[in-house]
């Protein structure tokens, strides 16, 4: 009798896992249709309640299944897929925008040239900034400037050097008497 080859291993981070790929994660048993259905639904929705409802299992069952390393590994793949979908939607809204009909006093605004309803594109600057911070944190990370004052009697140059060496102090300190340390 020929021995079937094991299903391919799924990498820890995957873009666009399909229900079939989720089923092939070597740690999820093929006969566990509710688990596979839950994982596929979660990859689509990113929501445990909705995934449980659509797969016909309880939320409690999902949390119990997480005790198994096999299921936990497959769930991590589904979480990555759900996160990829969120990022894709954020990018779409930030770059392509949303089409919005415009209304005035409850009636749609009509385009005088075409006679059709007027549509504007709205873009999300907030989503765009989050995407930039994630893609280029060195350039777009939030910078905080903190100032502290101390009298010359309380100043400890050794502590300042420790903080500087640890990368926690970027700006030089100035003593109250006007000298730099």
Residue 97 vs residues 45, 93, 126, 155, 157: alpha-carbon distances, Å: 21, 4, 12, 53, 52
> 2-22 pLDDT, tens per residue?
444 444 444 444 445 666 566
Neighbouring residues of 5: CB distance < 8 A, sequence distance ≥ 6 = none
Mean pLDDT score across all residues of the chain: 79
> 35-76 pLDDT, tens per residue?
999 999 999 999 999 999 999 999 999 999 999 999 999 999
Banded pLDDT at 164 (limits 50, 70, 90): confident
Each domain of the chain, given as residue ranges in start order, spans 7-89, 97-140, 144-181
Share of the chain above pLDDT 90, in %: 44
CA-CA-CA-CA torsion sign (38, 44, 46, 51): negative
Burial class (CB in 10 A: 0-12, 13-18, 19+), 38: buried
Residue 112 vs residues 46, 99, 100, 106, 109: alpha-carbon distances, Å: 43, 19, 17, 18, 9
Q: Quick one: tokens of 90?
A: 């954020």
What global pTM score does this model have? Answer: 0.56
Instruction: List own/partner pairs for 89-96 with CB under 8 A and 24 or more apart.
Output: 90/124, 90/127, 90/130, 90/131, 91/127, 91/131, 93/123, 93/124, 93/127, 94/123, 94/124, 94/125, 94/127, 94/128, 94/131, 95/123, 95/128, 96/121
Residue 14: what pLDDT? 45
């Amino acid at each position: 009798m020929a021995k079937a080859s094991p299903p391919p291993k799924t990498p820890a981070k995957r873009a666009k896992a399909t229900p079939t790929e989720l089923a092939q994660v070597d740690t999820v048993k093929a006969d566990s249709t509710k688990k596979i259905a839950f994982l596929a639904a979660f990859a689509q929705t990113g929501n445990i309640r909705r995934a449980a409802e659509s797969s016909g299992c309880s939320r409690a069952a999902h949390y119990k299944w997480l005790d198994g390393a096999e299921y936990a590994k497959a769930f991590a793949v589904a979480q990555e897929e759900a996160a990829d979908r969120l990022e894709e939607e954020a990018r779409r809204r930030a770059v392509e925008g949303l089409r919005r009909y415009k209304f005035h006093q409850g009636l749609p605004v009509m385009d005088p040239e075409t006679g059709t309803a007027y549509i504007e594109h709205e873009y999300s600057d907030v989503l765009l900034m989050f995407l930039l911070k994630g893609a280029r944190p060195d350039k777009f990370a939030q910078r905080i400037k903190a100032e502290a004052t101390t009298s010359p009697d309380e100043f400890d140059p050794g502590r300042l050097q420790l903080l500087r060496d640890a990368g926690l102090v970027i700006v030089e300190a100035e003593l109250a008497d006007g000298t730099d340390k």
